[in-house]
Structure formats: C-alpha cells, structure tokens
Chain A
C-alpha cells in the first residue's frame, strides 16, 4: 500500500454521535505506528475528540475489521474503526 494512501477512519454508535461524523479519510499522521499512537493523536485534534477519546479503556478499535489492541500496527490505507463496548444480542 502506498504511503500516500489515506487512513479510512470509521466511528460507530455514541462515538459517531459525539464526533458528528461516521467516516473520514486522513493522511497517515507522522509518527503514527500503532492504534495507541492513533488514539493519542485523536485526543489532540479538538476538544470534542479529547472528550470522546478521553477514556481509552472505553473506546474499542478494529483495524481492517479485526479487533485491535493499543499495540496493533496501523499503516497507510488501513481501515480503522473506533466504537464503544458492544451491546448486541
């Protein structure tokens, strides 16, 4: 995948509502190598992002539709989704 390919960021449920967006494409920010890095970057984007991502333990993440942890690598072209704990069934 080209280093220029954007990251596709998806947001679901309460996180989508707090941020007012379901999906965005962003250029891979410099120095971002993992989900943990991306979460820290999100918190610096705006007060709304800071609030939405404040409690990292309550934000779940998936990279390319597989559940991810803070240490999971992310790179250009990846689809990264953020969402609250799941409440199906």
Chain B
C-alpha cells in the first residue's frame, strides 16, 4: 500500500525512507528521486513557482500511478509526496521512494513513478518571475515522451 501525500510543507527524505524500511530485513534496494525548484527554467530568473492541484482527484491519480508501479514491479513499498503552493528556487517539490528486494525494480519503479507523475497527475506550475510577471508552464513534449516510454496508452 503506497503512501500518497499532497502538502504545502517540506518533506524529509531520511524520515520517509525510514518509514518504509524500519523493522524490515527483506529490503535490498531503495530508489529515491527528489525534484527541486530550479532557477532560470526558461532562461529567465524566477522568484518562485506556485503549484496548483485538484484536491481529491490528484490524490486519486497518484494512488492509481502507485498501484500501476506495484503491478509492474515487486515492490515492498512506495511513497509519493508532492508539494503545492509557493515554492522558491532550491526548495523541494516532489519525492518518490520505491523499495524492493533488488535494485532494478527499485530503480525502474522510481523512474516510472516520476515520469507518470509529471504527466498524469493533475498539478500545474506557474512561474513567478524575479523581474515581475508570471506565466503558466507549458507541458513539455520531452515529458510526454518520457512517460510514453513506459507504455500504457496516453
């Protein structure tokens, strides 16, 4: 059963890994991905991103993505945490952790989870520029391609 959270607060990678592994001796690999806010995403400095979501559906879509990962790989647990609200450069945005008996399942599931999370969970980023103004981030073809490499339709 995956842990799914959407929250304004930051997360603690070590604490989330410990929550998945403490007391277990069957875990052989832990895959982790942390996404952070990068400045100059389009060559223009940003003061912050704001992240919007669809309360209810977002959590449901994240749970469906996690369930798909659990169908495809032998996972002993996984955690998806996505922050919302105002996030400044350097701050964490998203955390994916997948644990398994063996490294390949943990690594592959982690890559799958972040690829699908970017294109199949209802979140939208807006850039707040350092010199004023703001703009919604356009969906990127490269993200769609990354998600499509795992199959499973559009």
CB distance from A9 to the nearest CB of B (A): 13
Q: Which residues of A contact B82 (CB under 8 A)?
A: 88-89
Q: Which residues of A contact B126 (CB under 8 A)?
A: 13
CB distance from A79 to the nearest CB of B (A): 9
Interface size class of A (residues with CB under 8 A): 10 to 19
Q: How far is the CA of A86 from the CA of B51 in the complex (A)?
A: 11
Tell me, yes or no, whether B73 is within 8 Å of chain A by CB.
no
The answer to whether A88 and B57 touch across the interface, beta carbons within 8 angstroms, is no
Tell me, yes or no, whether A81 is within 8 Å of chain B by CB.
yes
**Mask of B125-138 contacts with A, CB within 8 angstroms, 1/0:** 11000000000111
Q: How far is the CA of A81 from the CA of B55 in the complex (A)?
A: 12
Query: Nearest B residue to A58 by beta-carbon distance?
Result: B139
CB distance from B105 to the nearest CB of A (A): 21
CB distance from B141 to the nearest CB of A (A): 10
* Chain B contact residues, majority secondary structure: mixed
In chain B, positions 77-112 with a C-beta closer than 8 Å to chain A are 82, 93-94
Q: Which residues of B contact A81 (CB under 8 A)?
A: 54, 57, 122
Q: Which residues of B contact A83 (CB under 8 A)?
A: 54, 122, 124
The answer to whether B57 and A89 touch across the interface, beta carbons within 8 angstroms, is no
The answer to whether B124 and A14 touch across the interface, beta carbons within 8 angstroms, is yes
Q: Which residues of A contact B4 (CB under 8 A)?
A: none
The answer to whether A88 and B94 touch across the interface, beta carbons within 8 angstroms, is yes
Q: Which residues of A contact B139 (CB under 8 A)?
A: 84-87
Stretch at the interface among B7-15, B17-25, B113-121: B113-121
- With A13-B126, A14-B124 already in contact, the answer to whether A87 and B57 are too (CB < 8 A) is no
In chain A, positions 57-89 with a C-beta closer than 8 Å to chain B are 62, 65, 67, 81, 83-89
CB distance from A11 to the nearest CB of B (A): 10
Tell me, yes or no, whether A33 is within 8 Å of chain B by CB.
no
Shortest beta-carbon contacts, A-B, top 6 = A88-B123, A89-B118, A85-B139, A13-B124, A65-B57, A14-B136
